[in-house]
Chain A
Amino acid sequence: MLMATMTPTLEAPPAARRGVWGWLTTTDHKKIGILYGSSASVFFVVGGIEALLIRVQLATPNGEFLSADAYNQMFTMHATTMVFLVIMPAAAAFTNYFLPLLIGARDVAFPRLNALSYWVFLFGGLFLTVSFFLGGAPDGGWFGYAPLSTQVPEVVRMDYWALGLIIIGLASLLASVNFITTIFTMRAPGMTLMRMPVFAWMSLVVNFLLLFSLPIITVGLIQVFLDRNIGTLFFDAANGGDPILWQHLFWLFGHPEVYVLILPAMGIVSEVLPTFARKPLFGRSFVIFSGIAIGFMGFGVWAHHMFTSGLGPVAESAFALTTMFIAVPTGVKIFNWLGTIWGGSLRLNTSMLFSLGFIAMFVIGGLSGVTHAAAPADWQQHDTYYVVAHFHYVLVGGAIFGLISGLYYWWPKITGKLLDERLGKWHFWLMMIGFNLTFAPMHILGLNGMPRRTYRYPEGLGFEFWNAIATIGSFLIGVSMLVLFWNFYRTRRRGEIAGPDPWDGRTLEWSISSPPPEHNFDQIPVVEREDDFWHRKYRTAEDGTAIAIEPPPNMEFERDEDIHLPSPSFYPVLAAAGMFLVVMGLVYVPWGLIAVGAGAVTTLWGLFGWSMEPITREEH
């Protein structure tokens, strides 16, 4: 596949690939995917504990559990962690692991850049989290509205937030360049864009969204940092600056980001439903084009987050209309999924249950979202728990349910063992019930006027009962997660061996062993149609049913002779560590400048070593 000038190096030097050193220096997209997934799980526990602390505080009126200060840190870090350190890297984990497999490639376009993305993300996440132990975590909300983000420059909490998001954004930006390039240049022969699996399509849209939205918030974050540290006046209303500009820069990023979070889950569901309904995805091209439409329109609705900031009737009407319109392609997808399961021979295993749960919960969240589209109604709902209920239905009931569905679906491919179905069903039902107990009451609380982001509420306003229910529900979600982690552990000990194709799958990853060999495909597949792997196994009878082809297709191929795997490299993690030192030092200027200098030298050393490294596969 690659016309390289070097000798075949399928067998890498064994010492380089084992143990901690092997993980630190890996450039294998599958290992990097596992790293993303493990990190996201750890941060999920952190963000989950933060959420439970919030719920304990709010369980009763006049809660005494957290101080106002601690509460501010909790809700800021809960949202920041869940958005940037859980859902995004979890989606990145699946993209890393499965995008090359789905399009029939041996790796991403730039394997070392891929490793750099991961390490910068990890150091960024650690940077944000260690702030808890260094004088307090960010406390100005995940949206960092000025002046909440710019005031009190002597307390460094929001410096951690601004710098942390800048480097996590850098990691995502590098990854998006990498994935877009991979999709446009590394597909297997015959894998036209329209034959690509829907998950790969949704990854493409997501990475374009990131590519065009991250630079905008990066500028805003730089401005916040400079306002705090060198006295610029970008968001200083007393001196002519305009805090509303921050809101625009933030939501120009923030709304596309919403689709960055949900589209990977939609892609997963579009893979899971056809597999377990044993039918092709209904209206496949409609699903793809709806995804593209969501991507485009996602950039045209940002100001609906700002209806109460006084945009004026013209702008508010325009953004209300675009917001209502974006429900159309989303609705199209819902009907496509329903059409897919209609008349299918359904297998209701855990992965399928989570996908079905996704559809139901996402419909509820989507509908309550449409109710915010009308600006006058939004003025009533703004900053109440109704909004909290809405976005948890799309982000937990939507994004997290979809990602967990993908976890049960692809776990056997990654580890070679099937997750336990009995525990899986316990997990699903506990989570489904706990989730609805937690967030459905918030609709009522919000409509009754309970404001967001307040650390206590007085007795006698009618908030007690539903808050108590929500807290009980949140602990049920916690229990369901313990079941999931127990399932991981149990499967590792004595899970059922999956084999290459446990679900009778449709896409290319099921045509190779579980877990896949390091070089993915012995021979790069030649793709002839959509769901190519399925059509190698089945032909369609006259009445439309699938008939297995006898004898089953031979999936053993002779191994290509010129397979070139990327060599492991120490330089990505080195460069990322340097960046960590730089941002750490920037928080504590002036004496931190020593760390900035050391970090800059380390990063340059990493990048220089990188460019001088012996020619590897990405270089030829």
Chain B
Amino acid sequence: MSIDTLAQEHPGPHDVSHIRKVAMWVFLGSEVLFFGSLITTFLLYRTRIGDGPGAAEIFDIPFTSVSSFILLMSSLTMVMAHHSASRKDWRQMRVWLVATAMLGIVFLSGQVFEFTEFVEEGLTVSTSPFGSSFFVLTGVHGAHVAVGVLLLLATALMSFTGRLRDGEGMNVEIIGLYWHFVDVVWIVIFTVVYLMQV
């Protein structure tokens, strides 16, 4: 990778949308290492189940597949929101933003339900290193989804005031990048943590 391809050699007039997108992609690069550390911990501990239940006994693949599918589809609604925003169709944009947030909330509810089930079946954070690493990895991901839901709802609400109208398309695009990234992380978690362990 040559230096020239890393950035244009002659930066033009400062374009705020460009500046923000660079910042967001830089941040997401960092998040890759963040989730990488958590997934590594899980992979190291996936078979260290002590006296507690293991992955094959406890995972409910059909249930998790459905909730994974829901999160995946939220990326579709998110990109539709961005599309509406770029056409300055604020009403449609709000509809898609709220739809995305709702799908996120459904996913989070599924996670809460799943966690409760697991605890009832005898897997907690202190049962085994497997339990610790599973709950912390998926929990931290859930926290990212929750932050995303807050951002989506806040943007939808603020768009009513009209104060951020000029920057709206930009905000939706940046939040979209974050949201898609959180979805992409779940794509990896669903495969590596769930499907490959049963």
Contact = CB atoms under 8 A, between A and B. Distances in A.
A250 to B, nearest CB: 11
Interface stretch (B1-9, B61-69, B83-91, B95-103): B1-9
A219 B16 contact: no
Majority secondary structure, B binding face: helix
Given A192-B10, A193-B9, A194-B3, A232 B26 contact: no
A239 B127 CA distance: 9
Contact of A215 (B15, B37, B129): B37
Residue among A2, A109, A186, A240 with max Cβ neighbours from chain B (10 Å): A240
Given A190-B10, A215-B37, A222-B136, A232 B125 contact: yes
B41 A185 contact: no
A3 B13 contact: yes
Contacts of A177: 23, 26-27, 30
A193 B14 CA distance: 16
B33 A187 contact: no
Contact of B126 (A173, A185, A233): A233
B162 interface: no
Interface stretch (B43-51, B72-80, B184-192): B43-51
Interface in B149-170: 154, 158, 163-164, 166-167
B50 A234 contact: no
B10 A215 contact: no
A231 interface: yes
Interface string B88-128: 00000000000000000000000000000000000001101
A219 B26 contact: no
Residue among B38, B132, B136, B167 with max Cβ neighbours from chain A (10 Å): B132
A612 interface: yes
A283 B29 CA distance: 32
A620 B19 CA distance: 12
Contact of B22 (A181, A226, A232): A181
B60 interface: no
Contact of B23 (A110, A193, A212, A226): A110
A181 B29 contact: no
B38 A219 contact: yes
B34 A618 contact: no
Given A249-B37, A618-B16, A185 B22 contact: yes
B133 interface: yes
B131 to A, nearest CB: 8
A184 B30 contact: no
Contact of A193 (B3, B29, B36): B3
A184 B7 contact: yes
Contact of B13 (A1, A212, A240, A245): A1
Given A109-B23, A233-B128, A620-B16, A211 B30 contact: yes
Contacts of A5: 166
Given A2-B14, A189-B11, A234 B6 contact: no
A545 B50 CA distance: 75
Given A226-B125, A232-B126, A215 B11 contact: no
A223 B167 contact: no
Contacts of A214: 30
B136 A226 contact: yes
Given A233-B129, A233-B132, A173 B16 contact: no
Nearest to A252: B37
10 contacts: A181-B23, A186-B14, A190-B10, A191-B11, A213-B33, A216-B33, A222-B136, A233-B132, A239-B129, A619-B167
Interface of B: 3, 6-7, 9-11, 13-16, 18-19, 22-23, 26-27, 29-31, 33-34, 36-38, 41, 44-45, 48, 50, 125-126, 128-129, 131-133, 135-136, 140, 154, 158, 163-164, 166-167
Given A215-B30, A218-B34, A231-B125, 17 more contacts: A3-B13, A109-B19, A180-B22, A180-B23, A181-B23, A184-B11, A190-B10, A212-B30, A215-B33, A223-B41, A226-B136, A231-B126, A236-B129, A239-B128, A245-B44, A618-B16, A619-B16
